[in-house]
Structure formats: C-alpha cells, structure tokens
A and B are shown apart, each in its own frame.
Chain A
Amino acid sequence: MKEAYFLYAITGLALLISLIINRRKTLRALEIAVKRFAGILPHFLIMLILVSITLFLLPDVFITRYLASDNKFIAVLFASLLGSITLMPGFIAFPLAGILLTKGVPYMVLSAFTTTLMMVGVLTYPIERAYLGAKLTIIRNTISFFIALIVAVMTGIFFSEIF
C-alpha cells in the first residue's frame, strides 16, 4: 500500500500549509471532513458487512473454477457476473488474474472479470445510492456492465481469441 503513504504525505503537507495560511479556515475544513465522513460511515458499515459475507460465499477457489470453464462465452458471462457482485482490491485481483492466465484462461475472460470488478459495484450500492440516488446508481452500473462486455469482446478480438 505505497499509495496510502503517498496520500498521507500529500494530506499532511496540504494541512500544514493551510494551517500556516489560515487557522480558522483549516479548522472549518476539518469540521467539514468529520461531518461528511460521519455522514457516510453507516453506509460503509453496511457495505463492509455485505462484502465480508459475499467473499465468504464466493472464495477465490470458486471464482477460479468458474473462470476456467471450457466454453469461452459461458466463462465470459460467469466472469462478468462474478466481477459485478464481488469486491476485491487490485493487489489480490490482478495476481489472481495473472495465475489464471498461466493456467490457460483466455484474456477476454480475465478482461470481463477485472473490468466488471472495477466498474460494476453491486456491493458498493449502499454508498453509491447515498450520493447518486437509487435510479442513477442502477443506470450507471447497468451501462458499466455493458461497457465491460464490449471491452471483453474487443480484448478477445485483439488477442485473436474470437474470429
């Protein structure tokens, strides 16, 4: 998590500069930060509960088995559904995809899985709805799902896995 340390450095520096220039404004910024964070926290709690249960029900072994299916198109479909309903940090998802690649899983299946993992968030619904509302959340995720399928098909074409 080098990303996190980078973020701390930037935040610390910004906070320090802000504090030097204007103390009152900085305190107001912190007040906004706490208020907004506290507001969304209950939604995060619900999301984390859903994530913890879903990951138990769909472990890596399960995902591996379905992505390695013989029929490419069924595998793409499974991959995109699994990618949509699970949530995985990149440092787990990409090494897993790398292993699957060496096991002979086609690029287009991996693409369907990683792209839906990134773009479609069934489990992040409680958070997204709090900001965008139910309607826009559903529309955005549906569109993202189809974009991910298009990406998978294009990946298949460019790696000569289809046509």
Chain B
Amino acid sequence: MKRKNVIKIVGVSGYIVFLIVSFILGFNPGKEIGYNFASFSMDMLKILPSAFVLIGLFEVWIKRETVEKHLGEKAGIIGYIWAVLLAGTTVGGIYVAFPVAYSLYSKGAKLSVILTYISASAICRIPMALFEASFLGIKFTAIRLLVSLPLVIIASMLLGDYLAKRNYKVMAGK
C-alpha cells in the first residue's frame, strides 16, 4: 500500500509541476490540460459540497427502519421503483450517486437496489433526459430509456443477489 501512495504522490506532484512549467513557458498542450482540469473541477465543485451536506443530513435524520422498509430486503419490487425515481432526481452525475449509494446501503438498502440506483442515475436523470430529447428527439430518448432501464434492473438483481451471497460490502469511499 505504501509504495502505491508514493507513486500517487509523485504522479500528482509531477502533474502540478508540469502545469506550472507549461504556463510559465507558454507550452500550449500543458495549458490546455490545465484549462480542462480547471473546468471539470469547477463543474464538480458546484455540485459536490451540497451533495455531501444532504448526505450528512440524511445520515442524522432518516431512520434505518425507513430505508429498510422502502429499499431493503422486504421492499420487493417497490425498492427498484424507488431507486429509479431517486436516480431521476439525482443532480450532477454518477459520481454523486456513489456516496449517496453508500449512505443508503449503510442504512439497510439492498445491494441490488443500490446497483440499480447507481446505473439508473447515469441514464435517467430527468433534466439530462429532457436536454437530450431537445437535441436528438423524444423518440431517441424514449428508446434509450425503455431499452436500458429494464436491462439495468435485471442485471442489478442478478448481480446483487450473486454478490450478497458472497457477503460483498459497499465501502465508505476512502
């Protein structure tokens, strides 16, 4: 593990030095990479702090029984419907879905429901779907959702059950 960390630190430092030198010397590829980094960082920093505050509030206010009842073992098919609806309103992207998924999981949501939520948050966020339809047409978006969503749910059920039998755990993201 230690050697891995050393490699990471060297890599990140090398990257930072490369960007600084590129900006000083006016090396265009380096500058472009720097701009890419800045623009993506800004996009994520707009969303992430709020998302984590909501996760924190969820952790202190929502009872374990509530999550178990709606997203747990006993919820049955309703759990998957909740997962898709929740995914539809997730803001940002799949990178927000992971920490949310961990919170839900640690409060008793079923693994296959969590997997549905993660994949669904990639494909059926409502604002994104509307934006997509405005450029590519409603038919395009409808086909994509109607084909992918059932496949995602079926795959999540199979994969979740398989992994649950092997005591698989979702981690805290460290």
Which residues in A have some Cβ–Cβ distance to B below 8 Å?
1-4, 6-8, 10-11, 14-15, 18, 25-26, 28-34, 36-37, 39-40, 42-49, 51-53, 55-56, 87, 89-91, 94-95, 97-98, 101, 107, 110-111, 114-115, 118-119, 121, 124, 127-128, 130-133, 136, 139-140, 143-144, 147-148, 150-151, 154-155, 158-159
Contact between B55 and A4 (Cβ–Cβ < 8 Å)?
no
A-B contact pairs, 24 of them (CB 8 A): A1-B43, A1-B46, A3-B127, A7-B51, A10-B54, A15-B57, A29-B56, A29-B60, A30-B53, A40-B99, A40-B173, A44-B44, A49-B15, A51-B40, A53-B36, A94-B131, A115-B144, A121-B122, A132-B98, A140-B115, A147-B151, A151-B144, A155-B140, A155-B147
CA distance A160 to B37 in the complex (A): 40
Q: How large is the interface on B (under 10, 10 to 19, 20 to 34, 35 or more residues)?
A: 35 or more
Most buried by A among B41, B53, B143: B53
Contacting residue for A131 out of B98, B151, B163, CB 8 A? B98
Contact between A4 and B91 (Cβ–Cβ < 8 Å)?
yes
Tell me whether A53 and B33 are in contact in the complex, defined as CB-CB below 8 angstroms, given that A40-B173, A98-B136, A131-B102 are known contacts.
yes
Contact between A29 and B59 (Cβ–Cβ < 8 Å)?
yes
Tell me whether A90 and B131 are in contact in the complex, defined as CB-CB below 8 angstroms, given that A4-B46, A44-B44, A133-B171 are known contacts.
yes
Across the interface, name the chain B residue whose C-beta is closest to A87. B40
Contacting residue for A90 out of B11, B128, B147, CB 8 A? B128
Nearest CB of B to A136, in Å: 7
Contact between A90 and B98 (Cβ–Cβ < 8 Å)?
no
CA distance A15 to B56 in the complex (A): 10
Given the complex, which residues of A lie within 8 Å of B151, measured CB to CB? 147, 150
Nearest CB of A to B25, in Å: 17
Across the interface, name the chain B residue whose C-beta is closest to A118. B122
Tell me whether A56 and B29 are in contact in the complex, defined as CB-CB below 8 angstroms, given that A6-B91, A33-B52 are known contacts.
yes
Nearest CB of A to B55, in Å: 6
Given the complex, which residues of A lie within 8 Å of B131, measured CB to CB? 90-91, 94
Contact between A154 and B143 (Cβ–Cβ < 8 Å)?
yes
Within 8 A of A (CB), among B94-127: 94-95, 98-99, 101-102, 115, 118-119, 122-123, 127
Nearest CB of A to B69, in Å: 22
Across the interface, name the chain A residue whose C-beta is closest to B128. A90
Given the complex, which residues of A lie within 8 Å of B139, measured CB to CB? 158-159
CA distance A93 to B61 in the complex (A): 37
Across the interface, name the chain B residue whose C-beta is closest to A95. B135
Within 8 A of A (CB), among B20-71: 29, 32-34, 36-37, 40-41, 43-44, 46-57, 59-61
